[in-house]
Amino acid sequence: MKDAPNSRAAVEENAVPKAEPKRPSLGLEALQRRHLQIGWWSLLGFLLLGMLLEALHGFKVGGYLNVSAAPRRLMWTLAHAHGTLLALVHLGFAATLPHLSAGLPAARWAAGCLMAGGFLVPSGFLLGGWFIRGGDPGIGVFLVPVGALLLALGIYSVARGLTASAPAVSARK
């Protein structure tokens, strides 16, 4: 029995050191997974928003259907439509990432533009519809052009990265 403590010490000395917990990779796979998550969760959120808008219409809620609420109805419908479309853009970007030749920094930059624009455009429409003043959308609608510019930059970056990665087409003789 005297050997038991010594054998435990020997086992602990020979044991493999515990691995450090891994940090989340900031590589291509992590970026792809992030955009898949954003895309699917956004799609769910904007589906639920569409269902809410349909319920407001179905139950004939005055704050949504009155003539004075027409700008609100338009802004919220635009938020729903743009949010749904931009959720699909995130899914498309995730599928496109492995084909980009521009490199990881350019992909991260495009991802940041798409994420910011994908947040700002629907948020601008939602806020613009929430705070209606005299038949005009609220000040939140000014987020929309900023988001649209960021989306345009992100989409341009992706398109350019795909163009650079396209194989050269040889002329057939």
Domain edges within the chain: 29-165
pLDDT tens sequence across 127-165: 999 998 888 999 999 999 999 999 999 999 999 988 875
Q: Is the pLDDT of residue 20 over 70?
A: no
**Pair 34, 26: CB distance under 8 Å:** no
Determine the pLDDT at residue 15.
57
* DSSP letter, residue 17: P
pTM confidence score: 0.78
Pairwise CA distance, residues 114 & 42, whole Å: 13
**Pair 123, 140: CB distance under 8 Å:** yes
Determine the pLDDT at residue 16.
56
**Pair 43, 84: CB distance under 8 Å:** yes
pLDDT tens sequence across 90-105: 999 999 999 988 788 8
Residue closest to 151 by CA, chosen among 54, 96, 85: 85
